[in-house]
Amino acid sequence: MKVITAYCNLRADECLVNGEVVARRDAGSEDSWFKQIYRQQELAYPKFYKMDVLSQAGYLASEFIKRANPGIFEGYADDEIALVFANASSSAETDRRFMQSYQTGGSPSPSLFVYTLPNIVLGEIAILNKWYGENMFAVLPKFTPGFYLDYSEILLASGSRALLGGWLEVTAGSTYVFLFLVEQRESGTEFNNENLLHLSQTGSVAAY
């Protein structure tokens, strides 16, 4: 049975892992929200500061899933974990900053140009964890559980044994990040349309 064994919700002012709040934003801090999380949790990956906000969000959420469930990825070969992410705005936030670097600085910023594709976040996570499985980043009008359900059928039938899926929407005006791990197990939160939608909105399992 395909079940959700771990998940993370990252919002504008709090971060939840498996339904529990693990970090809250300090409105008085000069640091960005993602930098606050990074420092509060004492993470150690210097490349974090060079990432765009989309990659920072994906990195943080995936690390929270790993930290809350030690050993959760043990037992999988490096090509058996698939990554399937999506959002609605692609890399628009970084694209905007890249255009500004050209308009105000007279020349485009190479460090920003690297992140003007949304799928770079997949590469960042894969490189960090040495995962070489299938990966895909889709741009959709809204969070659509059916997309993940349908694509998981293909991936889990063609060699993948686990799926790290997610919705990463990070813009100047909003933060809506939901990452989840799907595995073949006998117990857990069933991987279905209703549960995905509920967890993405509330960060906790529905009582039914």
Q: List, in order, residues 6 or more apart from 37 with CB less than 8 Å away.
A: 10, 15, 23, 60
Instruction: List, in order, residues 6 or more apart from 136 with CB less than 8 Å away.
Output: 83, 84, 85, 119, 122, 151
Looking at residue 69, which CATH number applies to its domain? Answer: 3.40.47.10
Residue 161 lies in a domain: yes
So what's the pLDDT on residue 187?
A: 87
In a domain, 178, yes or no: yes
Alpha helices, H only, the chain: 33-40, 53-68, 92-105, 110-113, 120-129, 145-156, 193-202
pLDDT (tens digit per residue) in 53-111: 999 999 999 999 999 889 999 999 999 999 999 999 998 777 677 777 767 767 777 76
User: Residue 32's pLDDT is what?
Assistant: 95
Q: Give a yes or no: residue 156 inside a domain.
A: yes
pLDDT at residue 189, as a whole number: 95
- In-domain check, residue 142: yes
Looking at the 3D structure of the chain, how many domains does it have? Answer: 1
The parent domain of residue 105 ranges over 2-202
Residue 64: inside a domain: yes
Q: What angle do CA 15, 33, 177 make, to 5 degrees?
A: 45
> What span, in angstroms and rounded, lies between the C-alpha atoms of 91 and 55?
10
pLDDT of residue 207: 36
Q: Flag whether 122 is in a domain.
A: yes
Could you tell me the pTM of the whole model?
Answer: 0.91
Tokens for 200, please give them: 């993405």
User: Which pLDDT does position 128 carry in this prediction?
Assistant: 96
Structure token pair of residue 183: 């595995």
DSSP 47: G
CA atoms within 13 A on the CB side of 86: 16
CA 161 to CA 62: how far, in whole Å? 17
Report yes or no on 208 lying in a domain: no
Residue 28 lies in a domain: yes
SS3 48: helix
Report mean pLDDT in 10-residue bins for the chain, 208 residues. Answer: 96 95 95 96 94 95 94 94 96 74 71 78 96 97 97 94 97 93 93 96 54
